[in-house]
Amino acid sequence: MMTEPTTSQPMQTQTQSQTQSPAPASHAPNTDGIWFASYAPEVPREIDVSQYPSVVTFFDECTTRFRDRVAYVSVAENLTYGELARKATAFAAYLQSIGVKPGDRVAIMLPNTFQYPVALFGVLKAGAIVVNVNPLYTVRELSHQLKDSGAQTIVVFENFAKTVEDSLAGTRVQNVIVTALGDLLKDGFNLKGKLINFVLRHVQKLVPAYNLPQAVPLLKALSTGYGRTLAPVQISATDLAFLQYTGGTTGVAKGAMLTHRNIVAKLLQAKVGAESQLTDDIETVLTPLPLYHIYSLTVNAMIFMGLGGRNILIANPRDTKMVMKILRNETFTGITAVNTLYNAFLDNEEFRNRDFSNLKLAMAGGMAMQQAVAERFRQVTGKPIIEGYGLTECSPIVSMNPVDLKHMREFDGSIGLPAPSTHVRFRKDDGSWANIGEPGELCVKGPQVMKGYWNRPEETAKVLDDDGWLATGDIGVMDSRGYIRLIDRKKDMILVSGFNVYPNEIEDVIAMHPDVREVAAIGIPDVAQGERVKVFVVRRNPSLTEEQVIAHCRKNLTGYKVPKVVEFRDELPQTNVGKILRRELRDQELAKQKNS
């Protein structure tokens, strides 16, 4: 399960069952509903999920209402809501023309460019299910996701087409749609778009050679779609909108089934919490987080659409100099980022010297927000960072701190109050519900909770009970005002720059190396990334080096999952049945850092 705690690092450890669904309690805990008294007057206790039958209904309303406004900005070009609707409808019509039917899965492997929202809403308008894919996935990772989802169609940036080519064996993929950065700049026929594509391909050589004879250029697909009429598609609230993949406690990537109702609920929950600070005047949000990530997808692509806002798309947020260059002629009223990005921006003199008088809302999600970074951001901008908590299985929001810049709260590590229409309880070790001040496993119930895991009923049953309570695996506590604080994350999960890294996956990859006998992976504190991956290896071949282990990982893992530190040992601590004790290794590392 992918959790995205946005609070300080856990302060203590508590053993908690990860496989037992919440047991019925003889009475409700005294935490139920106490958070309502802390809601701002304008925030309702409940939302009307029936307001929009589907995400498509919401999209059509917004693109009609804000037709002439700019929806997205990329490479100093604009895409209006009207143009977005036209392109998305054309793409949906094209998908129908190649046989994509409602319920089919379509993988989208794109960075933050115009192509992403066009493909996203085009897939949804066709009644198909979006399977978001990290463009930086390795062949192994992509192959698993394509096979597991059963996707028959994929949309990919040409920079990553070689990965797709090498991943197709054993999948059901028949249709490949390829695009390049300059394609949708002025419909791709302008000199600027062609020049950008030429430079990326032939000067910077960022497009590896690939052989996909069945591939169709996105511009050709859109041209076909423009000449067709989109056949009406009946979409119900319970139909799936996304298979959003998450590792879960086992480390095996699973598709969280998110319905149209889940997504509508989430965007309405967040909107009522933020609209006191934001308006339907033109708001501009900086979008450095990838839209394929559940947090950015729902907050930036959905919520700001409901406000008719502008999204400044950042394709590579790690290139801080380029980000600052993009922002020289831009003023933003909102920003969503993770701790590492805020930290990187604050280290940039140009960012620190900006005028932040128009900034209304800075939100943090995806990883722990460090107090030092939050305080520094407030010193530089005069505005607080609003924290919250969510997980993929909740589409993702569970709780948020109030958006109230008139009464700025000091950073306290709280993950806020449960969202409207959301119930939160804490389950103790004995299965009973905890009361105020008592720690327990955070359990959630609400319209944003997923339908289950794709084709994995056993895994679903481990976390979701018959009454709709989702066991998050995170240990927390609620105070008398209804504010939640996390005590401990799920055991063993590592959080690197806002992305979940699961030790099982890393260990499985390293164990593939013929010179490795045993391996254990843990997360250790890191100022820049929150945590970094360290592995302990028992060698089968004494000549095995750290460089060889890391090189092996780079071939099979996305960059943020690759270990930064390798330590060789003669043996690893184990239980009496031979299970490696990661926690003991982690405790040793923390003690070593404390004494250093």
Mean pLDDT, range 53-68, rounded to an integer: 98
Structure tokens at 537: 């290896």
Percent of all residues in the chain with a pLDDT value above 70, rounded to a whole number: 90
The pLDDT confidence band at residue 340, using thresholds 50, 70 and 90, is confident
pLDDT of residue 490: 63
Question: Which has more pLDDT, 24 or 419?
Answer: 419
Question: Which has more pLDDT, 10 or 239?
Answer: 239
Q: CB burial class (10 A; 0-12, 13-18, 19+) of residue 4?
A: buried
* Pairing of the two strands 452-453 and 254-259: antiparallel
pLDDT of residue 45: 95
The pLDDT confidence band at residue 502, using thresholds 50, 70 and 90, is confident
Mean pLDDT, range 155-162, rounded to an integer: 98
The pLDDT confidence band at residue 281, using thresholds 50, 70 and 90, is confident
Question: Which has more pLDDT, 285 or 338?
Answer: 285
Task: For residue 320, give the amino acid letter.
Answer: T
Cβ atoms of 256 and 243 closer than 8 Å: yes
The average confidence (pLDDT) of the chain is 89
Q: Is the model's pLDDT at 6 over the cut of 80?
A: no
Strand partners, 399: 389, 418
pLDDT of residue 196: 93
pLDDT of residue 31: 85
pLDDT of residue 234: 96
Listed in sequence order, the residues at least 6 apart from 84 whose beta carbon sits closer than 8 Å to its beta carbon are: 63, 71, 72, 117, 118, 121
| Cα torsion through 399, 405, 409, 410, rounded to 10 | 110
Q: How many other CB atoms are there within 10 angstroms of residue 334's CB atom?
A: 27
State the Cα–Cα distance between residues 153 and 215, nearest whole angstrom. Answer: 10
Top mean pLDDT of 2-11, 152-161, 497-506 is at: 152-161
Q: Is the model's pLDDT at 492 over the cut of 80?
A: no
3-state secondary structure of 390: strand
pLDDT of residue 1: 37
Top mean pLDDT of 17-26, 264-273, 549-558 is at: 549-558
State the Cα–Cα distance between residues 392 and 371, nearest whole angstrom. Answer: 25
Cβ atoms of 186 and 192 closer than 8 Å: yes
Q: Give the least confident one: 76-85, 217-226, 492-501, 555-564.
A: 492-501
Radius of gyration of the chain from its Cα atoms, rounded to whole angstroms: 23
Closest CA to 389 of 475, 303, 292, 462: 475
pTM, two decimal places: 0.85
Mean pLDDT, range 366-386, rounded to an integer: 84
* Pairing of the two strands 153-157 and 175-179: parallel
Q: Give the least confident one: 131-135, 263-267, 527-531.
A: 527-531
pLDDT of residue 9: 31
Mean pLDDT, range 338-348, rounded to an integer: 87
pLDDT of residue 356: 96
pLDDT of residue 489: 61
Q: What is the pLDDT of residues 539-592, one digit of tens each?
A: 989 999 999 999 999 999 999 999 999 999 999 998 654 578 888 999 999 898
pLDDT of residue 8: 31
State the Cα–Cα distance between residues 284 and 309, nearest whole angstrom. Answer: 6
Q: CB burial class (10 A; 0-12, 13-18, 19+) of residue 50?
A: exposed
Cβ atoms of 522 and 494 closer than 8 Å: yes
Q: Give the least confident one: 246-255, 393-402, 548-557.
A: 246-255
Q: What string of H, E and C letters represents the secondary structure of 173-197?
A: CCEEEEECCCCCHHHHCCHHHHHHH
Cβ atoms of 484 and 416 closer than 8 Å: yes
Strand partners, 108: 132, 155
pLDDT of residue 190: 76
Q: What is the pLDDT of residues 217-230, one digit of tens each?
A: 999 999 999 999 99
Dihedral sign (CA 331, 111, 337, 297): positive
Mean pLDDT, range 183-212, rounded to an integer: 90
pLDDT of residue 471: 95
Cβ atoms of 42 and 440 closer than 8 Å: no
Cβ atoms of 344 and 309 closer than 8 Å: no
State the Cα–Cα distance between residues 246 and 132, nearest whole angstrom. Answer: 11
pLDDT of residue 251: 57
Mean pLDDT, range 393-397, rounded to an integer: 95
Mean pLDDT, range 213-219, rounded to an integer: 97
Listed in sequence order, the residues at least 6 apart from 447 whose beta carbon sits closer than 8 Å to its beta carbon are: 47, 49, 261, 262, 265, 421
Backbone angles phi, psi at 311, to 5 degrees: -105, 120
Q: Is the model's pLDDT at 370 over the cut of 80?
A: no
Cβ atoms of 561 and 506 closer than 8 Å: yes
The pLDDT confidence band at residue 369, using thresholds 50, 70 and 90, is confident
Task: For residue 117, give the amino acid letter.
Answer: P
What structural domains does the chain harbor?
1-54+260-491 (3.40.50.12780), 78-235 (3.40.50.980), 495-595 (3.30.300.30)
Listed in sequence order, the residues at least 6 apart from 319 whose beta carbon sits closer than 8 Å to its beta carbon are: none
pLDDT of residue 18: 37
Cβ atoms of 529 and 514 closer than 8 Å: no
| Range list of H helices, 339-434 | 339-346, 349-352, 371-381
* Pairing of the two strands 361-364 and 284-287: unpaired
Mean pLDDT, range 503-523, rounded to an integer: 90
Count H helices and E strands in the chain, helices first. Answer: 18, 27
The pLDDT confidence band at residue 354, using thresholds 50, 70 and 90, is very high
Mean pLDDT, range 305-319, rounded to an integer: 93
Mean pLDDT, range 525-535, rounded to an integer: 91
Q: Give the least confident one: 396-405, 438-447, 525-534.
A: 396-405
Mean pLDDT, range 432-440, rounded to an integer: 93
Our CA angle for 46, 416, 378, nearest 5°, is: 130
Q: Give the least confident one: 171-180, 303-312, 313-322, 399-408.
A: 399-408
